[in-house]
Amino acid sequence: MNNKRLVFGERTYVMGILNITPDSFSGDGLFQGLDTVTAALEQAQRYIAGGADILDVGGESTRPGAQPVTADEEIGRVVPVIRALAKAYPEVILSIDTYKAKVAEAGLIAGADWVNDVWGLRADPRLAETALRFAAPVVLMHNRSKPTHASLEARLGGRYIGMTYTDLIHDIRKELMESVTIARQAGIKDEHIILDPGIGFGKTVEQNLELLARLDEIRALGFPLLLGPSRKSFIGYTLNLPPDQRLEGTLAASVVGILRGADILRVHDVEEIVRAARMTDAIIGRQGRSSTDRPLSSALTAG
């Protein structure tokens, strides 16, 4: 899979979101029964035409207040899609968005290259071993989501309230490194680890804004950084806009994210974000931010 090699620092990479769910917070769920694979392939084609480098396939909604699904149900949603994507677009990196080892294994067998775990290897102790067995890079996300702290507003959707941190950035850094330790203890190499600070997961609107403004302090941990601001509630509650009107807010958050060190942007509006990322990279001379300021290799090969 040499053609799937990413060189962090060379440019900003864009990950397109494929929600194979009926209840996505952004209203873009692609789970449509017999037509699911067709809908996913069409969305993937649009993303790739728009410049996506990675496609992230998930079968369980992670919005505040969402109902969990069983591993078997999740597998039934994502595996046919991943199998079809791997056949149709072999040059594109595929990521399986799950925190369950059983789902990850099925997705990797079907053709996924990465595992994107919103619980940073904390939810299922078998997931790290599964990723290691397939030599799959892992995205480790920070997450303090608690249903008791989720608040739902009809027009703006869910958000977290009353989340308490002793020191926001210190706590996030510490807990991300605890996930890194889990990965390392399982045998996963540092060059197969990507960190995600978890914008929108167990953080208030104000905490999300602070995290974005201080993202460089997370990047200082030395790992490639994935940022997922797309249509999130902190944008909606800041601008008083529902999910389908958050493009400009997502663009602003994405540009600030690049300036603060994000290597990958996980988004719904791929074409627009790719254009903004390319322009931002050109302005700041992205090639000047290479692996020289990271303690690990800047190159990551999928698989």
List pLDDT tens digits, range 79-124: 999 999 999 999 999 999 999 999 999 999 999 999 999 999 999 9
Mean pLDDT over 297-302 rounds to 57
Percent pLDDT > 70 in the chain is 88
Confidence tier at 294 by pLDDT (50, 70, 90): very low
pLDDT higher than 80, residue 302: no
Instruction: Answer for the pair 137, 302: CB distance below 8 angstroms, yes or no.
Output: yes
pLDDT at res. 34 = 56
Beta-strand relationship, 5-7 and 299-301: antiparallel
Confidence tier at 292 by pLDDT (50, 70, 90): very low
More confident site: 18 or 150: 18
Confidence tier at 282 by pLDDT (50, 70, 90): very high
The amino acid sitting at 193 is I
Output the CA torsion sign for 163, 168, 173, 175: negative
pLDDT at res. 211 = 98
Catalytic residues: 232, 266
Q: Which two tokens stand for residue 143?
A: 């997450």
Distance of CA 197 to the CA centre of its chain: 10
Mean pLDDT over 268-288 rounds to 91
Q: Helix H segments across the chain?
A: 36-50, 71-88, 101-110, 127-133, 168-186, 205-213, 215-219, 233-239, 247-259, 270-284
Q: Which two tokens stand for residue 22?
A: 């009926």
- Lowest-confidence region among 5-19, 71-85, 139-153: 139-153
Q: Which two tokens stand for residue 57?
A: 């396939």
List the CATH code of the domain at 8-296.
3.20.20.20
pLDDT at res. 26 = 46
pLDDT at res. 65 = 66
- Lowest-confidence region among 11-20, 60-69, 132-141, 215-224: 60-69
Query: Domain spans of the chain?
Result: 8-296
pLDDT at res. 78 = 96
Mean pLDDT over 127-139 rounds to 98
pLDDT at res. 273 = 98
Task: Name the residue with tokens 């201080």.
Answer: 214
Average pLDDT, the chain: 90
pLDDT at res. 2 = 40
Percent pLDDT > 90 in the chain is 79
pLDDT higher than 60, residue 29: no
pLDDT digits (tens, 9 = 90+) for 209-264: 999 999 999 999 999 999 999 999 999 999 999 999 999 999 999 999 999 999 99
Burial of 80 (0-12, 13-18, 19+ CB in 10 A): middle
pLDDT higher than 60, residue 24: no
pLDDT digits (tens, 9 = 90+) for 152-193: 787 888 888 889 999 999 999 999 999 999 999 999 999 999
Mean pLDDT over 190-211 rounds to 97
